Structures are given as structure tokens and as C-alpha cells.
Structure 1
Amino acid sequence: MYIEVEKDVRIFVQDINPGPGSRPVFFVHGWPLNHKMFEYQYNILPEYGFRCISMDIRGNGQSSKPWGSYSYDRLADDLYIVLETLQLENTALVGFSVGGAISIRYMSRYGGCHITKLALVDAVTPSFVKTPDSPYGVTKEQANALINQMYVNLPKFLNDVSLMFFNRNLGPATLDWFVHLGFQSASYALIKILQEAAKDDVTKDLSQIHVPTAIFHGVHDQLIPFKSAQITQQRIRGSQLYPFDNSGHGLPIDQADDFNKALMHFINA
């Protein structure tokens, strides 16, 4: 289905509903992917009574690809409109990577409306670029170099990122699949989202989260270091950190079975 979030901008939403009474779980994908990155969750969670809902962030997948803003605020606003339109309640929000940052901004900006539990998965938090409050990100120069690579050679860039994404040798087919998902996005959207991640952060938003929160993070994450997850856990009151020893940044794929079990346990607790 499609939901219009502003004039001429429609967000693609997938809704896998196993039946009445199913617990809603809303997935927000990361960069440079789309909702299909959660296939290993969609294959399992509905069997246990979970309604799996996901969207393609504007500029990605099957959603509209406008030229305008891709700020965290704008993307959080899109998420709010989708949740409002679907009239979801008692929902678990699962944000992966940049989708984690968007989810955090949503929780702060909208007071956690519709959401009763938050799962952050390899989330870009507190920041992507190093700051005094978040010293484990990349440098500003490294971020700019990554952005410039997309202007010069996007296919090579996506291939290089795929090699850093996973902790295990999942084979060329999985890496090709990752790159293919990236090509379903507008290149300017990928650039703009990474530019926003390089200049914005969610440090001040963390204290505004007041629902049970689980932080799932790969110990071998090369993109968002595990120490960043430890800082996030310290700044979200009452949150719990779940390390995954065999995962890099692609936890929902690296350790899909273990992640699915931990996520369902957290939602049901």
C-alpha cells in the first residue's frame, strides 16, 4: 500500500498481518537499503503472532524519491504520518542503523505516540560523526570522503560498503543482494541521508525516550562501533544492551535466528 505524507510524496508500506489480535511490530530500515532487508524477520515473526509492518523511507525502495529534505526531522514526520494513518497502537518500533536514529528522533519529537517498546538495532546513535559526547564515530573528514565517493563511483562504493557490513562470509550472492537493494534507492537520496547523518545526531533525544528499550548490537560492527551502543544504553533510562558476538553491522542477517528470538522475547516481556 502507499500512504501520502505530503503532496506528491507517497511512502510504500508492507503489512504482513497473520490475523486478528496480532501484536504490531513496525520496522524502519537502514541506509542504503529498504524494507526488504528484514526478510529474515518477516519469514518467522508472523508464525508467532506478530504483525510485521515496514515502510520504505522516502527516496528508497518503492517510495517516492523527491529532491527535497531528508533530515531526521522530515523522516520522523513521515513515520508519524504512516503510524497515524494505520491507527497503530501498542506497537513495538524496530529501527535499524539510520532507521534507529530516525526512530529515536520520532520518539523524542512525538513523545513516543503509538509506541510501547523500542528496539534499536546497530543504530546510528548517539552520532555518526565523532563528537565530544560520542567519541567513537568516524571523523568529519572520513564522512565527507564517503559522501564524495558516491558522487564519483556509486557501484564501487556500494560494493565496498557491502564488504564492511557483515561479520561473516555470507557469500557473493548475499553481497550482490545488498548492492541490488542499494540500487533501488535514488543516488541523491543516499547522498542526502548520509549528509544528514554526518551533521545531525540524536544525543539530546535519548533522554526523551520513556518506553522499555532494547539495544541490539553486533560486537564486530565496523560502521557503528559497539562502544557507541554502550553509550546509548547509559543515556536511555532503563534500557538493556544485548551484544551479539558473531555479528557486524548487519545483525538481522548475520545472526538472524538469534536476533529473532531475542526480539520476540523482548516484545513479549
Structure 2
Amino acid sequence: MPFISLDETQHQEQLQLFYQEYGSGQPVILIHGWPLSHRAWEPQMQVIADAGFRAIAYDRRGFGVSSLPYENFDYSTLARDLHTLIEQLDLKDVILVGFSMGGGEVVRYFTDFGSDRIAKAVLISSIIPLVPKKDDNPDGVPEAKLQEIMGALKSDRVTFLNEFSHNFYNADKTDVSEQQIQYAWTIAAFASPRATIECAKSWGGTDFRPECKNVTVPTLIVHGDADQIVPIETAGKQAAKMIPNNEYHVIKEAPHGLNLTHRDELNKILLQFLQS
């Protein structure tokens, strides 16, 4: 199995990050959402590879089969993990694709490491720029709801993740199968409980609005207008106003997990952008 090493010398531990790759050509790095793993990219991996790209998906620390540390799940650490992957594989002219929480790694990467190795960026159902409701972000998720999520993760994580998986795909309104929902639940339930909670703190408490200007490469933003997890008003619509050079697509009646429920529509938009 392919792994890269993350040197956490300050904690005297050697962490490993798992990655999967298909194809060859210009590298496309796929960064999964919370609380999933690289397996969530199944509807895109082969399509990207068959189009002549090198599709690379990895498991964020604490998820999938990557190492399960107890701490360090802030976005600068996660962006450094991404940077280590790029350096160890010696990738250039990279296209970064962040789904949901993964959008945070994309934006923080530009803040911390610049764009020298990056050609384009993609944000799909992304949390960028800000999740919580605030006076200057009235369409965000109310603090009470975020605290409810944190409480459920601490008291009964696997039950919470079952409901979350149904809402992820708007199961009552889309034709996603129960088996597919249970597959997503299995991936999420398998993740480190600690990483699940700490990463929720990161995506629920990081304000990326001052950083959006740092994304200087051509950027594709895709969001569903029926997203129950990350509302389009606080995410895609705002990101499209803040990121300088972007192409914004709204997929009608699409839920958060639109990379599965609306895979054909998303893949068409994605490939057109990758090949442009």
C-alpha cells in the first residue's frame, strides 16, 4: 500500500499518510470531505484518470488507513500534510480539488505555501469561506446547531453519523441507494473518533474570508442549491465573490454529496475545467 511519511518530530512519532493513484499526466489531488476518506472519490477517480490525468486521492490524518494521531488537526497542519505529499511525490503543475472540509486545505495551502507548484484549484460543496452564523455571516450554521453536532459526536458518534449520511445525500429526495448511504456511514464510522471531533472544530471554527484572496490560480467552484450540510448562501455563493479568478457553477437540486448523486453533471463540469 502506498504511504508517505509525515515527520512529527516535536511529538516523537512517525505518521503515515495513505494515498491512492490512477493514471498518468498532470496531477489532480483529490482531498476528501469530513468524515470520509479517499474512497468517497470513487465516482471521480477513474473518470479523471481516463481523461489523461494522474488522479491522486489521500486519506487525511485520522481518517481511512492513514495514521491516527491524537492531536494537530488544525488547517495549517493539514495543509502541511498536503504539501508533504506534493513534495515527496515531486508533483508540479498540480490541480487541487477540495470537497467540503477539503476546501479548507486548498485555501490554507495557498496562504502557507503559495502557488509555485499549483496550476488550478477546485472547490466542490466546500466549507469556504465560513460555516458558522455570525452578524456578518447571517446565512451560516447557527452556533446552537454546531454545538449540537459536537455533543452528538461525543455522546453517540455512530448514531449521529447515520443521520448525517442520510442528510449528506438528501436521501429523502434523491435516488441514492440505502446501500450507498450505509457504505458512506461505514467509512465515516471507521474514522478516528478523536480526529472526527477535532476536525469538526477546525471546519466549524475557521474563518477563511481573509485568505480567499490568496487563491490566485484559476478556480472552479461547484455547489448544490439543496445542500443541507453546508448552505450555498454561506459557502459557494460567497466564495465566488471572494476568490479572484473563479468559474462558479450551481447544480440544481443537488445535495452536499453531489459528487455521487449528480456525478455525471459534476464530472462533465470538472473535466471541462481540468482540460481548459
Counterpart in the other structure of 1:246: 253
Counterpart in the other structure of 1:3: 4
Counterpart in the other structure of 1:260: 267
Counterpart in the other structure of 2:159: 156
1:237 counterpart letter in structure 2? P
Counterpart in the other structure of 1:36: 39
How much does 1:91 deviate? 1.3
Does 2:49 correspond to 1:46? yes
Unpaired segments ≥5 residues, structure 1: none
Contact 2:175/2:261 (<8 A) preserved: no
Counterpart in the other structure of 1:57: 60
Counterpart in the other structure of 1:117: 120
Counterpart in the other structure of 1:231: 238
Counterpart in the other structure of 1:181: 187
Contact 1:13/1:54 (<8 A) preserved: yes
Counterpart in the other structure of 1:172: 178
Contact 1:15/1:54 (<8 A) preserved: yes
CA-to-aligned-CA distance 1:30-50 (integer Å, 9 cap, x gap): 001000001011132211111
CA-to-aligned-CA distance 1:76-118 (integer Å, 9 cap, x gap): 1110111111111111110000001111111221112321100
Name the SS for the 2:6 alignment partner.
strand
2:53 counterpart letter in structure 1? F
Instruction: Write the distance in 2 (CA, Å) between the matches of 1:231 and 1:67.
Output: 33
Contact 1:107/1:113 (<8 A) preserved: no
Instruction: Write the distance in 2 (CA, Å) between the matches of 1:132 and 1:105.
Output: 24
Q: How does 1:15-30 map to 2 (within 5 A)?
A: 15-17=21-23, 19=24, 22-30=25-33
How much does 1:198 deviate? 2.1
Percent of aligned pairs with the same amino acid: 29
Q: How many residues align?
A: 266
How much does 1:134 deviate? 3.0
Contact 1:246/1:255 (<8 A) preserved: no
2:271 counterpart letter in structure 1? M
CA-to-aligned-CA distance 1:200-244 (integer Å, 9 cap, x gap): 121111011100001011110011111121111000112121011
How much does 1:179 deviate? 0.3
2:81 counterpart letter in structure 1? D
Counterpart in the other structure of 1:131: 134
Counterpart in the other structure of 1:141: 144
Instruction: Write the distance in 2 (CA, Å) between the matches of 1:113 and 1:130.
Output: 34
Question: Scaled by the length of structure 1, what TM-score is found?
Answer: 0.95
Counterpart in the other structure of 1:213: 219
How much does 1:144 deviate? 1.2
2:164 counterpart letter in structure 1? V
Instruction: Write the distance in 1 (CA, Å) between the matches of 2:117 and 2:27.
Output: 10
CA-to-aligned-CA distance 1:158-196 (integer Å, 9 cap, x gap): 011011111313121011011011022101110000012
Does 2:209 correspond to 1:203? yes
Counterpart in the other structure of 1:96: 99
Instruction: Write the distance in 2 (CA, Å) between the matches of 1:47 and 1:196.
Output: 34
CA-to-aligned-CA distance 1:94-148 (integer Å, 9 cap, x gap): 0000001111111221112321100000001111212344332212221111011
- Greater CA deviation, 165-174 or 116-125? 165-174
CA RMSD of aligned residues (A): 1.2
